[in-house]
């Protein structure tokens, strides 16, 4: 008998919608999502995850928040890039110096243990007089596990130069893998962070933890999202930008020093995401990080 497909991934023509046991987990937007204000069309966006849900069905991410409409759910974008001697960036969309957008869906499938999809995302320089240039080709491999009391998924990002020119990610205190929390969390008292070192929004900014949880009330109950940083990542443990008054954080790997993505080389980043209802539990987050960082070794012992 065939195993039940616990995790489903469905392409509706504009989004990849992932569910576990019929519960929505996340949506990846491959069609352009238009900014609410059409005179601000530069905020249009694709190639990111929103909405992201808790297991009880509440949306925990945000998109096009009026105060920072360029922060979109879960996204990966660099704030300061040097390419061919010019500065651009795909983060500050209003500057119109660059953009990050979905290119193609490579594959997707459901399954009894996990569902997955792979997409290609373009990082585009808009500063060249002759027209836009794709600088970086990024592949996302996303795997969502068949857990429905809590949600667990992985994103592996692989960025490569799209031309024969290197791409310098310049030093700045934010940018990189980012999550923007729900609009209800906007305001200094509405949300907080917990890091692997026990730090919070007052003490954790630019610290270098192995995981960060962001949490706050959604309706009557608390909910949270933790991002676990893989120890194989560049500059692990990576510095984090924990914003003190609005619910977003990122692994700000460029806050230490510039770095260069060279032609022919891969810049790989791996993160695991844990989304739950209820208050944060540091022991649980740490246990999940240990499982991610040091997965149990399975030995197959063959019969004589």
Strands (E), 146-245: 151-161, 167-169, 176-180, 191-195, 211-218, 221-229, 240-242
Instruction: Give the model's confidence band at 65: pLDDT under 50 very low, under 70 low, under 90 confident, else very high.
Output: confident
Q: How long is the chain? A: 304
When the candidates are 1.20.1260, 2.70.98, 3.90.1570, 2.60.40, the CATH number that belongs to 7-293 is 2.70.98
pLDDT in tens, 230-263: 999 999 999 999 999 999 999 999 999 999 999 9
pLDDT tens for 101-112 read: 999 999 999 999
Mean pLDDT over the full length of the chain:
95
121, containing H or E segment: strand 114-125
Structure token pair of residue 228? 């676990």
Residues 108 and 18: their CA atoms lie apart, in Å, by: 10
Does residue 272 carry a pLDDT above 80? yes
Query: Contact at 8 Å (CB) between 274 and 226?
Result: yes
Tell me which H or E stretch contains 284: helix 282-293
Coil, strand or helix: which one is 237? coil
pTM for this model (two decimals): 0.95
């Amino acid at each position: 008998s065939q195993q039940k497909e616990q995790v489903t991934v469905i392409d509706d023509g504009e989004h990849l919608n992932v569910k576990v046991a019929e519960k929505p987990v996340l949506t990846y937007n491959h069609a352009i999502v238009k900014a609410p204000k059409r005179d601000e069309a530069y905020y249009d966006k694709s190639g990111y995850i929103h909405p992201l849900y808790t297991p009880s069905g509440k949306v925990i991410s945000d998109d096009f928040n009026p105060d920072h409409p360029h922060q979109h759910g879960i996204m990966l974008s660099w704030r300061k890039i040097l390419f061919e001697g010019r500065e651009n960036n795909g983060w500050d969309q209003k500057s119109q110096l660059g953009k990050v957008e979905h290119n193609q869906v490579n594959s997707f499938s459901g399954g009894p243990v996990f569902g997955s999809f792979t997409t290609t995302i373009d990082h585009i320089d808009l500063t060249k007089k002759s027209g836009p240039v794709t600088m970086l080709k990024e592949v996302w491999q996303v795997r969502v596990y068949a857990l429905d009391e809590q949600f667990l998924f992985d994103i592996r990002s692989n960025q490569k130069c799209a031309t024969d020119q290197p791409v310098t990610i310049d030093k700045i205190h934010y940018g990189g893998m980012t999550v923007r929390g729900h609009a209800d969390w906007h305001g200094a008292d509405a949300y907080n962070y917990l890091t692997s070192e026990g730090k919070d929004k007052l003490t954790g900014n630019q610290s270098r933890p192995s995981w960060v949880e962001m949490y706050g009330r959604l309706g009557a109950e608390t909910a949270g999202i933790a991002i676990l940083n893989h120890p194989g990542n560049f500059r692990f443990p990576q510095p984090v930008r924990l914003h003190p008054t609005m619910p977003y954080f990122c692994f700000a790997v460029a806050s230490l020093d510039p770095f260069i993505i060279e032609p022919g080389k891969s810049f790989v980043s791996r993160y695991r995401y844990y989304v739950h209802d209820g208050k944060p539990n540091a022991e649980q987050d740490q246990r999940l990080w240990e499982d991610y960082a040091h997965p149990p070794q399975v030995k197959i012992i063959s019969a004589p």
